[in-house]
Amino acid sequence: MRSNRFQFTTRFKNDMGKCGVEEGELVIAACSGGVDSMCLVNALLQGEAKFEVAHVNFKLRGEDSEADSKLVRDWCDENGVVCHVRHLPADEEAKRKGDGIQDAARRLRYGWFEDLRVERGATCVAVAHHIKDQTETLLIQLLRGVDPSSLGGMSARNGEVVRPFLSWSQEEVEEWVELDKVPFREDLSNQSPKYLRNRIRNEVLPLFESIRPGSTNHIAEWATRLRYQADAVENSMSDAYRDIVKYYDSGLDNSSNKGSEICRINLKALGESVWGNQVMDRLLAQRKWPLGSREQALLLTRASIGAEVSFEYDSLVREREHLILRKIEMESESSDDNAPCNIVNEKGTFQNLSWFCEIENLDSPPPTDPSILWLDFYAIEHPITWRTWENGDKLEPNGMEGTVNVSDLLTQWKVPHLSRSSARVLQDARGNILWVFAEGDKGKGEVWSRISRKTTLTNSAKRLIFEVIV
């Protein structure tokens, strides 16, 4: 049974309301000049909506592109509707991004629609997707192997984009266009088999319909149900994500770790959550890690401390209680922080970016602070050197007999693996290690140090203060 104009208009106004669009709000209507989008602008006109038309000319089809633009302009002029036309270089965008023309065109198109919406003070952008578009979108997602948590059809409203025709069949759209004698143009590129969506529309869906009539509608309904489920999963997983993943401020630079920490994954929370694996997969997928690397990263939860998986400029490292995701930075040229600290036989202060030393008379007991070293000035061989620790470095700890490996000290202190490379030693002219210093989590203020028995304080006339600025 064919519908009349009143039934179509009433249904459309109800569907706009379901999209959250209130009467009197300004709508930007995306219109290509094809049958679907021309039906959309006609529906808005018949429903007495407040709207303006946005048309993009990509100049990809020569005279046909110009004819599309003319049709849209003429219709708007005849009906007193404001029309915005923009020429956008989809071919240049595709080359710049290294993707297909259709993806580039979509990105440019929606970017301009949003800019125009804000500029004109509109509440939303209306597009003409219907049931068949919904079915095609789900099949494309399956073929492209999208994240299962993102699998699902288009929403009637996604942010500021509304789709009032999403429950309409293509036949219903075409019927309304025929009823109101709405002009439109055929886009011949929609028949080209070089585009995936066209092959699904022109080859796959007809095959499905021949096997099981009504398949297109059934798949679209399934896509809608998947979207509802995906939204529910998203809400639940978002809570788990916040519990498991802790991001650092974008400006935090752990240069001592030869990279910037992006976030920490709490291993306890990860293991206790039913969404643990999905959270990890999403985190790394957002960082563009391929599936194989993401699967390797999941194995780190059972790996030994210090185990690491990397992809491009990211590195994921296993610590005791966390996995640390950091951005790997190129090694910079050596800084003055690694330069020898040459102490002269006079009072004074000698300062660098991360440390300073001072010589003065001893007049009070030394304070207890792991980031400050007090030395007997006359009991050490000058010059002294402040450097990064190396394998084989040994310390003669104050209060103990024999020596201890610096590496063992770091293990004993439970210094995070990423921080070990930043641990430093103070060395005298004979190569004796006078002091070992290590820093952990900056947010926790973790600092460790151990002094050599060769640096025991006496009642000397001078003292040497060596302080690390943390």
DSSP 355-389: EEEEEE---SPPP--TTEEEEEGGGSPSSBEEEE-
Query: What confidence score (pLDDT) does residue 178 get?
Result: 96
Is residue 236 in some structural domain? no
Burial class (CB in 10 A: 0-12, 13-18, 19+), 213: exposed
Amino acid in position 237: M
SS3 292: helix
238 belongs to a structural domain? no
Q: Are residues 168 and 310 in the same domain?
A: no
Query: SS3 for 356?
Result: strand
Q: Residue 84 pairs with which residues in a beta bridge?
A: 54
The Cα-based distances of 148 to 39, 56, 226, 234, 283 in angstroms read 33, 33, 10, 11, 14
Contact call for residues 255 and 271 (beta carbons, < 8 A) = no
Q: Would you state the structure tokens that stand for residue 315, as one six-digit string?
A: 């590195």
- Select from 328, 349, 382 the last residue of a domain: 328
Smallest Cα–Cα separation from 395: which of 369, 428, 420?
Answer: 428
Spatial CA neighbour of 380 closest among 456, 309, 436, 318 = 456
Mean pLDDT of the chain: 83
Q: Which residues of 142-174 are buried (b: 16+ CB within 10 A; e: fewer)?
A: eeeeeeebebbbbbbbeeebbbbbbbbebebbb
Rg over alpha carbons for the chain, rounded to the nearest Å, is 34
DSSP 299: G
The whole domain housing 309 covers 248-328
Last residue of a domain, one of 262, 294, 328: 328
Q: Does residue 122 share a domain with residue 28?
A: yes
Cα–Cα dist 372/469, whole Å: 9
| 320 and 340, same domain (yes or no) | no
> Which of 301, 328, 355 is the last residue before a domain boundary?
328
Within 8 A by CB and 6+ apart from 240, the residues are 269, 273, 274, 275, 276, 279
pLDDT of 252 above 80: no
Residue 28 host element (H or E): strand 26-30
Q: Other CB atoms closer than 10 Å to residue 17's CB: what's the count?
A: 12
Rounded CA-CA distance 5/39 in Å is 12
Residue 359 is predicted with a pLDDT of 60
Mean pLDDT of the 205-220 span: 93
pLDDT tens digits, 114-137: 999 999 999 999 999 999 999 999
388 beta partners: 424
What pLDDT was estimated at residue 150?
A: 65
Q: Which residues pair with 328 in a beta bridge?
A: 259
- Residue 324 within any structural domain of the chain: yes
pLDDT attached to residue 361: 60
Domains identified in the chain, total number: 3
136 and 194 co-located in one domain: yes
DSSP annotation of 163: -
Over residues 208-212, mean pLDDT: 94
For residues 317 and 344, membership in a common domain is answered with no
Q: Would you say the pTM of this structure is higher than 0.85?
A: no
Is residue 241 in some structural domain?
no
**How confident is the model at residue 332, as a pLDDT?**
44
Q: Output the pLDDT for position 459.
A: 54
For residue 178, the domain's CATH number is: 3.40.50.620
Tell me: do 299 and 282 sit in the same domain: yes
Q: How many CB atoms lie within 10 A of CB 258?
A: 16
- Domain membership flag for residue 235: no
Average pLDDT over residues 313-331: 82
- Using CA atoms, how far apart are residues 46 and 40, in angstroms rounded to an integer? 10
Coil vs helix vs strand at 401 = coil
In a domain, 116, yes or no: yes
Chain segment 34-70, per-residue pLDDT in tens: 999 999 999 999 999 999 999 999 888 889 999 999 9
Range with lowest mean pLDDT among 50-54, 94-98, 243-247, 388-392: 94-98
Query: What is the pLDDT confidence band of residue 426, given thresholds at 50, 70 and 90?
Result: confident
Per-residue pLDDT of 324-343, as tens digits, reads 998 876 544 444 455 555 54
Q: Is pLDDT at 367 greater than 70 in this prediction?
A: no
